[in-house]
């Protein structure tokens, strides 16, 4: 795909990783969407609900792409907490869940109910599941670390579903055992 300069506004970049093709969309220095696990660049862009041409990347977004590629390669030394996300269209509940999910450390997991409690919404496990299913920032907001009750894997809306969730959790569980 051709690369055109990003002249303000919304920009999109598609790149390859060990987890398949990823696409990231941003505005200024804030991420508005991320997707991964796709079989082709076109599939990644289409998942972002757009057909715009990918743009050339420089500065902070180029660094973020390298960080995401390291994460995809199994390096779990980055929590992405410094990445600015566009959350303006979310409800206060959704924002609270997303922000609390971002703080789940590598190697740790929470159940949907535990995440609801930790975010200040006890009893909202099902609603948390809906927020996680619509997570616009997977990997940056590590929804793969949120499990069903009893430690069951639960669902995962990325391509390859539960297998992808298990693939993401495997290196993190090894790190946890090594501690």
Q: How far apart are CA 120 and CA 116, in angstroms?
A: 6
pTM value is 0.90
Domain borders along the chain are 10-72, 89-178
**Cβ atoms of 149 and 112 closer than 8 Å:** yes
**Class of CATH domain 89-178:** mainly alpha
Of 6, 11, 101, 143, which residue is the catalytic one? Answer: 143
Q: Where are the alpha helices (DSSP H) in the chain?
A: 41-47, 59-72, 92-102, 112-118, 125-133, 161-178
Annotated catalytic, 143? yes
pLDDT tens profile 87-124: 999 999 999 999 999 999 999 999 999 999 999 999 99
Strand duo 10-17 + 20-27: pairing: antiparallel
pLDDT tens profile 29-87: 899 999 999 999 999 988 887 656 666 677 788 999 999 999 999 988 889 999 999 99
Triad 2, 134, 125: Cα angle to 5°: 160
pLDDT tens profile 119-167: 999 999 999 999 999 999 999 999 999 999 998 998 888 888 999 999 9
């Amino acid at each position: 795909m051709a690369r055109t300069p990003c002249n303000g506004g919304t920009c999109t970049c598609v790149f390859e990783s060990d987890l398949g093709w990823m696409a990231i969309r941003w505005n200024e220095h804030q991420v508005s969407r991320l997707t991964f696990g796709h079989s082709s660049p076109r599939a990644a862009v289409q998942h972002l609900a757009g057909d715009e041409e990918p743009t050339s990347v420089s500065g902070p977004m180029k660094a973020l792409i390298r960080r995401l590629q390291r994460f995809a390669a199994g390096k779990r030394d980055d929590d992405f907490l410094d990445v600015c996300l566009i959350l303006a269209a979310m409800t206060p509940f959704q924002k609270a869940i997303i922000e609390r999910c971002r703080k789940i450390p590598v190697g740790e997991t929470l159940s949907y109910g535990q995440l609801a409690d930790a975010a200040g919404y006890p009893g909202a496990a099902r609603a948390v599941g809906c927020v996680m299913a619509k997570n616009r920032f997977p990997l940056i907001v590590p929804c793969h670390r949120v499990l069903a009750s009893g430690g069951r894997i639960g669902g995962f809306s990325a391509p390859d579903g539960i297998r992808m969730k298990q693939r993401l959790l495997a290196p993190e569980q090894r790190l946890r055992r090594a501690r």
